[in-house]
Structure 1
Amino acid sequence: MSIQQDAEVVVSCPPGPARVVAVSSRYVTVTWPWGEADHSGGYRWDGTFALPYGDARTEWVPYRVEPDLAGLRVGDVCTVSIPPTRLVVGFYEEYDGPRNLGWTPAPTAGICVMPAHGLDAEYDGCMLYLGGAMPITVEPVELG
């Protein structure tokens, strides 16, 4: 699959269970529901992911957390998903063999996406990894 820059796509990912491990004024950190840490390479991913919240609300990610991040405390259980969302591709890259990013299964491609209302992919887009642990679906939008 090759996806062109500026193409419109619909991205989705079914809900996965997560547990809140830290809350700050900028982020809610959760155990990531997809993949397991792989310390065989140079990366030391600890199995968590920080979602922008509060003072970091200007950072954009396509993830939906339920219940809402505002009410979550350490130890709470939530779900993380990407509801079907129409986005614009900032860039797309395929890897020559799965890319070791610290988790297994390792992704085979990456796609930087952003809302259609015009963020800058280099600074504001969100990188999603495909063909690995996270069950992300990317479908091209048929124009016409």
Structure 2
Amino acid sequence: MDGRTEGPESDRQGTDSGRTRFRPGDVLMLECPFTGTGVTEVSRFHVSVTWPWTEPDPRAGNIGWNGQRALPLPEADEWDAFRTEPDTTTLKPGDTCQVGIPATVVHVLAVHDFDPPLVTGMLPRPASYLEVLPQGETHDPELEDQGYAFDPDGGEPIRVELLFRPYAFLEPGDEVVDQDGRVWRFDAAWDWHPVDGERPGSPAWPLALLSRRDDPAPDGTTTVALATETGSHAEELARWSGLTLARPTTRQQ
């Protein structure tokens, strides 16, 4: 479904796009139908094309947009989800081509929300960006601008499918007790904090939900218990790694 998302309806953390609220760690499939356009400029590092979907924002003040989008050549050493057909390396000014996103697996590195929506010079103004990494790439905190950011509700008809959400049965801020009696706070899939302040690590399944949004008798208690009757943190991580072909970030276990 173009411009919308497919996935669970009950998630409450992150960007709300269609039915899915994204959060870091989500594994997504992106696709955008290829659409005809023209090449306007070729430089050492980029090929610029007329962008066929978004419009200039007439109320953007001093932020002007010329209606073009620069896509990286291999020499640029940067990643963009959008591709051209034929490949960017074969294009020259005046050529016609198609631009879109083939089926691409990514994982969410960060979610950025904007209230009011961000003024970029283009319409629609984004209320959020998802910062993602492609399959096979692990986040390096020493690198700047490693991720690719896009508006899941922008003018481009990007189809976003949620393939996997680690610990989908928990919400950030939940407190659980594990089978060893240790109490943990869940902040993200690989970001666990033991309440006792002792050795870090990850909880031993099964888990029991103690509180959610400061409610000591939260909805979801049965769901968490059933979801962790079998399996383990290691299996959850293995499934994520099998899809992303990446390692957890430095904050992850």
* Both structures adopt the same fold (TM-score exceeding 0.5): yes
Q: Give the one of 153, 178, 182 matched to 1:131.
A: 153
- More RCO (CA 8 Å, sep 6+): 1
Residue 45 of structure 1 corresponds to 65
Residue ranges of structure 1 left out of the alignment (5+ in a row): none
Percent identity over the alignment?
A: 34
Asked whether the 8 Å contact 2:113–2:128 carries over to 1, the reply is yes
Q: State the alpha-carbon separation in 1 of the partners of residues 54 and 160 from structure 2.
A: 19
TM-score of the superposition, structure 1-length normalised?
A: 0.88
Matches of 2:60 and 2:81, distance apart in 1: 28
Between 111-120 and 65-74, the greater mean CA deviation after superposition: 111-120
Measured in 2, the distance between the counterparts of 1:134 and 1:100 equals 17
1:106/1:131 contact within 8 Å kept: no
What's the CA shift for 1:55? Answer: 1.8
1:60 aligns with one of 76, 79, 92: 79
1:95-117 Cα distance to aligned partner (Å, 9 max, x none): 33443211122233211111132
Residues 131 and 97 (structure 1 numbering): CA distance in 2 closer, same or farther, change over 3 Å?
farther
The answer to whether the 8 A contact 2:29-2:163 is kept is yes
The whole-number CA distance in structure 2 between the counterparts of 1:66 and 1:14 is 12
Runs of 4+ in 1 over 6 A off after TM superposition: none
Q: 2:109 aligns with which of 83, 90, 99?
A: 90
Separation (CA, whole Å) in 2 of partners of 1:135 and 1:99: 19
8 Å CA contact 2:26–2:164 kept in 1: the answer is no
Larger radius of gyration: 2
Q: Structure 2, unaligned stretches of length 5 or more?
A: 1-15, 166-238, 240-253
| Aligned-partner residue type, residue 72 of structure 2 | P
Letter matched to residue 128 of structure 1: F
Do the aligned partners of 1:106 and 1:133 also contact (CA within 8 Å) in 2? no
Aligned residues: 143
Q: Distance in 2 between matches of 1:116 and 1:9?
A: 10
Q: Shift of the alpha carbon at 1:119?
A: 4.2
Higher strand share: 1
